[in-house]
């Protein structure tokens, strides 16, 4: 699948600034999942941008691979990893076209990656599932369609947003699934600010 150049340019522009567009702290939902993480193992941070979530995973003791298509974001992610004294592997890739290795990771994390169209999302999610080891942990957070009323972050295309039914259908074989929809104020850098409608997913690959 070819990378959409306009989307690439949009994210490069967003990330090619001195500050961290989404801040340096991990996503609050990801941080709340700390007790579910294995004490050691491999973690994959999908579309990890400036690295805040990948860095946090590495701080929890995981061997982390952070993937993204923005060189500007990954430069900042490398700096953030150095600031926190953790080693992370980085690959500059299109998350829709990357060859997700089978059963390679104990944890796969996707936080607010809703630039994917439905066909792209299907490819990405299939790859993420393939990359998880049996029993591996999948963590996802995204905006729901109600987010369009708030306009405090996320895409404007309703088809890119997540619903309970969408997650249940795509991960119907997973076990220990928890799906929580919530509305809360989220402040992450300059890009997410204000009341937000989100959905949180955790589950384990059978």
What is the CATH classification number for the domain harbouring 55?
3.40.50.150
Q: Which helix (H) or strand (E) holds 186?
A: strand 175-188
Alpha helix (H) ranges present in the chain?
5-15, 28-32, 52-59, 71-84, 118-131, 147-150, 164-170
Tell how strand 105-111 and strand 42-46 pair up.
parallel
Count of helices and strands (H, E) across the chain: 7, 7
Between CA 100 and CA 18 the distance in angstroms is 31
pTM comes to 0.93
Domain hosting residue 196, numbered range: 5-204
Count up the domains in the chain and report the number. Answer: 1
Q: Render each residue's pLDDT in the chain as its tens digit; 206 residues.
A: 344 457 788 888 888 888 898 889 999 999 999 999 999 999 999 999 999 999 999 999 999 999 999 999 999 999 999 999 999 999 999 999 999 999 999 999 999 999 999 999 999 999 999 999 999 999 999 999 999 999 888 888 999 999 999 999 999 999 999 999 999 988 776 666 689 999 999 999 99
Contact status, residue 65 vs residue 43, Cβ threshold 8 Å: yes
Between CA 67 and CA 115 the distance in angstroms is 15
Grouping H, G, I as helix, E, B as strand and the rest as coil, residue 156 is coil
Give the per-residue pLDDT at 1.
39
């Amino acid at each position: 699948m070819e990378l959409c150049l306009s989307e690439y340019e949009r994210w490069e522009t967003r990330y090619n600034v001195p500050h961290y567009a989404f801040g340096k702290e991990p996503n609050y939902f990801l941080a709340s999942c700390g007790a579910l993480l294995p004490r050691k193992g491999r973690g994959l941070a999908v579309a990890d941008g400036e690295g805040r979530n990948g860095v946090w995973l590495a701080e929890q003791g995981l061997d982390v691979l952070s993937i993204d298509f923005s060189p500007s974001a990954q430069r900042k992610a490398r700096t953030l990893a150095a600031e926190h004294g953790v080693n992370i592997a980085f690959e500059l890739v299109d998350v829709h076209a990357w060859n997700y290795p089978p059963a390679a990771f104990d944890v796969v994390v996707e936080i607010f990656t809703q630039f994917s169209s439905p066909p792209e999302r299907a490819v990405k999610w299939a790859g993420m599932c393939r990359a998880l080891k049996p029993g591996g942990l999948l963590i996802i957070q995204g905006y729901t369609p109600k987010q369009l009323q708030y306009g405090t972050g996320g895409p404007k295309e309703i088809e890119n947003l997540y619903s309970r039914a969408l997650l249940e259908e795509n991960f119907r074989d997973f076990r220990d699934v928890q799906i929580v929809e919530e509305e809360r104020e989220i402040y992450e850098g300059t890009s997410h600010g204000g009341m937000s409608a989100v959905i949180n997913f955790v589950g384990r690959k059978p």
